[in-house]
């Protein structure tokens, strides 16, 4: 039992004892004043004295309570009004999220009438106007929020969303920068700012924004590395266009460090090295990248790095060396198969294409690029246009493969061109002079037999 409860029980006992005493011995008391006389029991007199003492002790409190009663009533009315206003605001936001235009407009008016909070009510009114397609009204609401420090960020955000929706990317970038100034480090602002800076070609600013986004975990670490590599790569290409070859090479090498798997960065760096006359160093760079991750783009740039005067058979020898770096990778076999095709080593080309996926030994699931190479092989080796078309149809109906061969489209166009030439050749005798000797339609389609041996080629 606490001390306060014990004291209350003591007081209650004293009052009870007094009541019992005066009930047993009521006594009497008389009061005379200016000819007036009042007779009463002694207990009643004592009660009156106690009541007077209470009034004297708490009279000031009672007075102040009566004086404050109107104010308290007004406060109660204001709290009730605020409660109803926030309820309308909540229901309005729910209506906006649900796409209920009429309910959102109605609740926005109620909230604006009940609440003395312009920031929140303007935000709801702006969203309601957007929902009703009143973009100009929404813009005015958002602009009116810019003067209020507590609501300026929401106003900038609304205006930025409107600029993005209307396609005004330059204005959206200005607003994203303003939003970042008002609230530094907000993840969605950093992501939007990064995208807009990349679109505008502001590589330096985008790199700084990307670093901040990575620190704030607005962008995952692995994605940040890839995006940094792409930004540096774009910057290197811009520097190359401006004639800053040395700076472009350094930037491309930075892109390689940011993303070791970026074949684009390796390709650009190797190309720049070749332009500076460091061809062998460029080849070693591609070979190192190939050993880490074989890629069709690396094979293409490796082909371009061949010394002047390199024959088709020489290219085969070079790609045989590249195959040793990744002997089991399908791209190694595909690159060597393409070199063998150029050298007209049909058997060697077919064997490596089968290992790359065209045959059962390679899994029997060729990529579209391998299908296109098989079409070229069938057309050039045997003149089998039906088989070539079947492989091209298979390439068109398959899912995209590991990568895209930069020469793939050119190969398709070449096959179609040669196909058209053969068809034209078959029809040529109909328009030829009367003394032109007749020619069988299939005679031109059959190429001379070739051997897989280099000497025969």
Whether pLDDT at 152 is above 80: yes
| The predicted structure's pLDDT at residue 236 | 92
* Domain membership flag for residue 449: yes
How far, in Å, CA of 362 to CA of 352, rounded?
A: 9
**Sign for the pseudo-dihedral over CA of 253, 254, 256, 257:** positive
* Domain membership flag for residue 377: yes
| The predicted structure's pLDDT at residue 456 | 32
* Domain membership flag for residue 325: yes
Residue 33, SS3 per DSSP = strand
Whether pLDDT at 428 is above 60: no
Minimum mean pLDDT among 130-134, 141-145, 194-198, 323-327: which range?
A: 130-134
Record the tokens describing residue 195, joined without a space: 């995208």
The domain total for the chain is: 2
* Domain membership flag for residue 454: yes
Q: Band of the pLDDT at 363, cuts 50, 70, 90?
A: low
* Domain membership flag for residue 339: yes
How far, in Å, CA of 260 to CA of 19, rounded?
A: 97
Q: Band of the pLDDT at 386, cuts 50, 70, 90?
A: very high
How far, in Å, CA of 358 to CA of 362, rounded?
A: 6
Residues 408-430 have a mean pLDDT of 42
* Domain membership flag for residue 351: yes
* Domain membership flag for residue 457: yes
* Domain membership flag for residue 368: yes
Neighbours of 317 (CB within 10 A): 13
Q: Render pLDDT for 49-108 as a digit per residue (tens, 0 to 9).
A: 878 887 777 777 777 877 888 888 888 777 787 777 767 767 776 776 666 767 767 777
* CA-closest candidate to residue 301, choices 314, 285, 277, 321: 285
Whether pLDDT at 190 is above 90: yes
- 411: containing domain: 319-425+442-457
């Amino acid at each position: 039992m606490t001390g306060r409860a014990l004291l209350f029980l003591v007081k209650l006992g004293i009052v009870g004892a007094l009541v019992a005493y005066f009930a047993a011995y009521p006594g009497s008391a008389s009061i005379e004043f200016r000819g007036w006389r009042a007779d009463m029991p002694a207990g009643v007199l004592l009660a009156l004295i106690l009541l007077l003492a209470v009034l004297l002790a708490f009279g000031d409190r009672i007075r102040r309570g009566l004086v404050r009663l109107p104010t308290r009533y007004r406060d109660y009315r204001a709290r009730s009004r605020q409660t109803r206003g926030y309820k309308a605001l909540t229901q309005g936001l729910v209506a906006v999220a649900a796409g209920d235009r009429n309910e959102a407009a109605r609740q926005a008016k109620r909230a604006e009438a009940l609440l003395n909070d312009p920031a929140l009510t303007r935000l709801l009114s702006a969203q309601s106007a957007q929902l009703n397609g009143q973009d100009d009204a929404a813009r005015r609401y958002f602009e009116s929020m810019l003067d209020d420090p507590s609501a300026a960020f929401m106003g900038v955000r609304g205006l930025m969303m409107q600029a993005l929706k209307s396609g005004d990317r330059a204005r959206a970038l200005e607003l994203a920068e303003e939003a970042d100034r008002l609230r530094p480090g907000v993840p969605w602002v950093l992501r939007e700012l990064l995208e807009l800076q990349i679109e505008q070609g502001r590589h330096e600013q985008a790199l700084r924004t990307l670093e901040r986004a990575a620190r704030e975990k607005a962008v995952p670490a692995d994605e940040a590395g890839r995006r940094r590599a792409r930004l540096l790569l774009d910057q290197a290409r811009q520097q190359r266009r401006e004639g800053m070859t040395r700076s472009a090479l350094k930037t491309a090498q930075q892109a390689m460090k940011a993303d070791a798997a970026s074949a684009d960065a390796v390709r650009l760096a190797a190309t720049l090295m070749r332009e500076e006359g460091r061809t062998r160093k460029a080849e070693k760079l591609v070979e190192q990248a190939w050993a880490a991750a074989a890629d069709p783009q690396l094979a293409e740039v490796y082909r371009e790095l061949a010394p002047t005067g390199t024959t088709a058979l020489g290219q085969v020898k070079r790609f045989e060396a590249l195959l040793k770096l990744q002997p089991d990778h399908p791209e190694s076999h595909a690159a060597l198969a393409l070199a063998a095709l150029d050298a007209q080593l049909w058997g060697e080309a077919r064997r490596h294409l089968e290992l790359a996926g065209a045959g059962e030994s390679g899994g029997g699931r060729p990529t579209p690029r391998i299908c296109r190479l098989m079409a070229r092989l069938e057309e050039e080796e045997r003149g089998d246009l039906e088989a070539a078309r079947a492989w091209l149809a298979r390439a068109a109906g398959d899912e995209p493969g590991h990568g895209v061969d930069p020469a793939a489209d050119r190969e398709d166009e070449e096959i179609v061109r040669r196909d058209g030439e053969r068809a034209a050749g078959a029809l040529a005798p109909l328009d030829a002079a009367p003394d032109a000797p007749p020619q069988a339609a299939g005679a031109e389609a059959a190429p001379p037999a070739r051997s897989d041996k280099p000497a025969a080629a």
